A and B are shown apart, each in its own frame.
Chain A
Amino acid sequence: ETGVTQTPRHLVMGMTNKKSLKCEQHLGHNAMYWYKQSAKKPLELMFVYSLEERVENNSVPSRFSPECPNSSHLFLHLHTLQPEDSALYLCASSQGSVGDSYGYTFGSGTRLTVV
């Protein structure tokens, strides 16, 4: 375990379903991230939260909705997804704040398949 826990590990959902991915860290980090990893493509940054405030939304479709209720938890709510949204979704955390730079701690990811 890395200190960042993602659930579920695997998820199969239909295009009309609504589901949520969960990420939890107890490392005392103040920034959390969602990344999407598709085959043969670089990791794509989806959302950044710093001190529970959303910092960046990289033009992600509205069918993905993040939520950060506190500094230890991050959710990604999914609805009416498309088959091309099938990917490995990775959560990460860091001690980052403006002007500082630290390595990220990643969870093991949620393998999402949209059918």
Chain B
Amino acid sequence: SQQGEEDPQALSIQEGENATMNCSYKTSINNLQWYRQNSGRGLVHLILIRSNEREKHSGRLRVTLDTSKKSSSLLITASRAADTASYFCATDHRGGADGLTFGKGTHLIIQP
């Protein structure tokens, strides 16, 4: 299977702490993307990192990519209650409009 697998499946932390989620995949990628989904809603694109990049930042988000280990991590710093959601990594294996492959997601709960 090409799909990414997020780890952990669920994570509960206190507001203000940092949250780290990991994603592993099996075949080479063109890019890797992270999405957030609030309960029963559509997914929201957070960040895209290309295969030749190692780290990207966007606000309180930091994504790393290690293509040698076929893994990525998403760090959310100074978490807020509004960050409570499911987070998915998605891999683009062929580039272009061929469809992303999603993992099962990490359910993040921020305790106030």
Q: How large is the interface on A (under 10, 10 to 19, 20 to 34, 35 or more residues)?
A: 35 or more
Query: Which residues of chain A have C-beta atoms less than 8 A from B43's C-beta?
Result: 43, 90, 92, 104, 106
Q: Which 3 A-B pairs have the closest CB atoms?
A: A96-B97, A31-B97, A103-B45
Q: For residue B98, which residues in chain A have a CB less than 8 angstroms away from its CB?
A: 48, 55-56, 96
Pick out which of these stretches binds chain A: B65-73, B77-85, B101-109: B101-109
Q: Check: A77 CB closer than 8 A to any chain B CB.
A: no
Q: Are B97 and A97 in contact (CB under 8 A)?
A: yes
Q: Nearest Cβ distance between residue B5 and chain A, in whole angstroms?
A: 9
* Chain B contacts to A: CB under 8 angstroms: 3, 30-31, 33, 35, 40-45, 48, 50, 88, 90, 92, 95-105
Look across to chain B and name the residue whose beta carbon is closest to the beta carbon of A6: B42
Assess whether A2 is in contact with B42, with CB atoms less than 8 Å apart. Answer: yes
Residues of B within 8 A of A98 (CB): 95-97
Per the bound structure, the CA–CA distance linking A106 and B102 in Å amounts to: 14
Q: Which residues of A contact B3 (CB under 8 A)?
A: 42
Of the listed residues A4, A42, A109, the one surrounded by the most CB atoms of chain B closer than 10 A to its CB is: A42
Please count the residue pairs between chain A and chain B whose beta carbons lie under 8 angstroms apart in the complex. 81
Q: List 16 A-B contacts (CB under 8 A).
A: A2-B44, A40-B104, A42-B103, A45-B101, A48-B99, A55-B97, A55-B98, A92-B43, A97-B96, A100-B96, A101-B48, A103-B48, A104-B90, A104-B100, A106-B35, A106-B43
Complex alpha-carbon distance, A90 and B88, angstroms = 15
A106 and B97 contact, Cβ closer than 8 Å, known pairs A42-B104, A43-B88: no
A109, B42: Cβ atoms under 8 Å? yes
Chain A neighbourhood of B44, CB < 8 A: 2, 106
Among B35, B42, B101, B102, max chain A CB count under 10 A is at B42
A109→B41 CA distance, assembly (Å): 6
Q: Which residues of B contact A45 (CB under 8 A)?
A: 99-101
Interface residues of A in 1-58 (CB under 8 A from B): 2, 4, 6, 30-31, 33, 35, 40-43, 45, 48, 50, 55-56, 58
**A108-B41 CB under 8 A given contacts A48-B97, A94-B97, A98-B97:** yes
Closest to B38 in A: A108
